[in-house]
Structure 1
Amino acid sequence: MTAETDHSAAHRHAGELADAAARTAGVHLRTVHDVAGLAAVADFFSDVWQTPHSTPPYPAEVLHSLVHAGGAVHAAFAGDRLAGATVAVFGPPAAAEAYSLVAAADRGVGHAVKQAQRAWALERGARTLRWTFDPLVGRNARFNLVKLGGAGTEYLVDFYGPMADGVNVGDESDRLTVTWDLLAPRRPKETGDRAAAPVIGMAPDGALLARRSQDDRHVWCRVPGDIVALRAADPALALRWRHAVRDVFTEAFADGFTATGMSRDGWYTLTREEDTPA
C-alpha cells in the first residue's frame, strides 16, 4: 500500500468518524462560506469568550478572509442553532501541516467538529494538525490528549500577552501546543505508578502539585478543578496556579518530555521516551 493510498484511506475514515460523531451529538456539520453564516460564527465565539458582539475574538471579516485564503470554518448545527465551530488554515510546510486557530462547541459537539476538521485537512494532504489551549483547563486537556490522541509538544509562556475577554482577563496567557497526527492518532500508553513517585512540588492549595518517577520517564502535574471559576473568584490564587504549573512544565519540556495524558481527577502525564542507541 502506497503513502497516497494510506492518506486516502485515512481521509475516508476521518469523514466516517465525523459523520458518526455528529449523529451521536445530534448535530449536522457543514463548512461555512457565506457572510451571514460567518457573522453567526463570530457571534458564537463572542458568546463563548464573553465579549460584546461588536468586538468578537474573530471578526466575521477576518473569518471571511481566512476562508478566501484557503482555510475552513466548520460549524455544527442543532437544527438551526449553531452549536459549535472551528477554524483552520494551512501552515508551513503547507503539504504536511494544518493549523487550527480556534474551536468552541456545546458539550458533546467538540468531537464532531474536530473530526470534520481532520477530514478536511487530510483531503488537502495534511499529515498533522496543531493548535493551542490553556493548559490549566483540565477538561480541554483530556479532550485533546486522550479523546483525540494528540500530544502536548510545546509550552508557550504568556503566548498572547494580556487578554481582555471575559474568560481570560486578569491572567497570563500560557498555552500548550497540541500536535495531532492525522494519519495515526496516538493511543494512550502506560502512564506509570503516580502514587509511588517522589513529590517534586506543592500546589497553591497546599496539596500535591507534581511528582517525577524515579526512572525519569514520567512527570505528573495537577491542575485546579475549574480554573475559569477560580480566576473569577480569586484572580491572585489563579495566577499562583499559573506560575506553579508553568514551572513544572517548562522544566519538564526542557528535559525532553511531552504531555501525553490527562486523568479524570486533573493530573497530566508527561512522558519522555527512552533514548535509543545510535
Structure 2
Amino acid sequence: MRFRVISDVPGIARVAAYYAEVWQTSTDVLSSETLHCIRHAGGATIGAFDGDELAGATTGLFCPDGSVYSMIAAARAGVGHPLKLAQKDWAAGLGAKSMRWTYDPLVSRNARFNLVKLGAVVTEYTVDFYGPMNDGVNEGDQSDRLTVQRDLTGSRESHESVPAGEVTSTAPDGEPLARTDGERIWCRVPRDIVHVRKESRDLARQWREAVRGVFVDAFERGYVATSMSRDGWYELERK
C-alpha cells in the first residue's frame, strides 16, 4: 500500500469521483474545483493506492490555530487506519499539534475506530450539522455530528467501555439506552444504523432523537466521550 499527496488534475478528479461513489450520489461530495482550492490554500488530499487502484482518500485543511481539520475520509476495509496515520504524518510535518473531524454519532463502527483505535476524544455534539443531505447514505436523516479531537503529540491509552450503573432511559428497541454510575455515563447506539435506515426511516429518526437527548444533556454538564464498546456503548466522562 502506497500513500501520497495528490495534486495533479487527473488525480484530484479521480478522488472526487471516488468520494461520490462511496456516498452513493451523482452530485459532488467535494468537487474537483473545491479539492484544488483546498490544496492551493495549504491543505492536502492523501490517496491510498494498492497498485494502481485507489483504495482510500482523505482531505484536510491546516487551520489558523495550528490544528488540522480533516474534512472527509473514505477507505476500503483495512485501509482506514494506515490512511489516517499518513494524514497524521502530513499534519505533524506542518507542525500541527492536533487534528479534529466530525462523524455521525449513530455509526458505532466509526465511533470505535475514532475513539479506541485512534485515541481521539469527542468534544462537541452539533444538531443537524450540515442541514438536509441528499446523498445515498444520509438522505432522509438529520445530520447530527460529533466533533472529535486527536492529540498528535502523544498517544491516549484506549480501553474497553463496559456499561454499568442505573438505567436512566430506554432506547427505541425497548432495551436500555443510557446508564450512569454517578460519575460516568454510557449511551447505546444501534449496531448498524445503515441497516436500520433501510428497514425503517421512522425508527432511525427515533434513535437519532434519543441519542441526541443523552449527548446534548451530558455535554452541557461538562462530559466528553472517550470510548466505545464492541456492542455499541459510548462511555462519557467528565472533562
Would you say same fold, with TM above 0.5? yes
Q: Which residue does the alignment assign to 2:9?
A: 35
Following superposition, the deviation at residue 183 of structure 1 comes to 0.6
- Unaligned runs of 5+ residues in structure 2 are none
Matched, 1:112 2:82: yes
**Distance (Å, rounded) in 2 between the aligned partners of 1:247 and 1:119:** 37
Structure 1 position 151 matched with structure 2 position 118? no
Paired residue type of 1:205? D
**Could you tell me which residue of structure 2 aligns to residue 77 of structure 1?**
49
Query: Quick one: which amino acid aligns to residue 78 of structure 2?
Result: G
Name the SS for the 1:77 alignment partner: strand
The equivalent of 2:166 in structure 1 is 198
> In the alignment, does 2:186 pair up with 1:211?
no
Aligned to 2:29: 57
Alignment length (residue pairs): 239
2:223 counterpart of 1:257? yes
Corresponding residue number in structure 2 for 1:272? 238
Mapped pair 1:173 → 2:143: yes
Q: 2:205 aligns with which of 236, 239, 245?
A: 239
Name the CA distance, whole Å, in 2 between partners of 1:31 and 1:112: 14
State the distance in 2 between where 1:122 and 1:145 align. 20
Does the 8 Å CA contact 1:150/1:185 hold for their aligned counterparts? no
CA–CA separation in structure 1 for the residues paired with 2:61 and 2:110: 21
Q: 1:48 maps to what in 2?
A: 22
Q: Structure 1 length as normaliser, TM-score?
A: 0.84
SS at 1:194's partner residue? coil
CA RMSD of aligned residues (A): 1.1
| Rounded Cα–Cα distance in structure 1 between residues aligned with 2:229 and 2:20 | 30
2:206 alignment partner, SS class: helix
Is 2:200 the partner of 1:228? no
TM-superposed deviation, 1:159: 0.4
Q: Counterpart of 2:22 in structure 1: which amino acid?
A: V
Task: State the SS of the aligned residue for 2:214.
Answer: helix
- Which has more radius of gyration? 1
Can you list the C-alpha shifts for 1:43-93, whole angstroms capped at 9, x where unaligned? 1101110001xx220011110111011100001011111110000001231
Residue in 1 that maps onto 2:112: 142
Structure with more strand by fraction:
2
Q: Is the 1:194–1:213 contact (alpha carbons within 8 Å) kept by the matching residues of 2?
A: no
Look up the match of 1:23: none
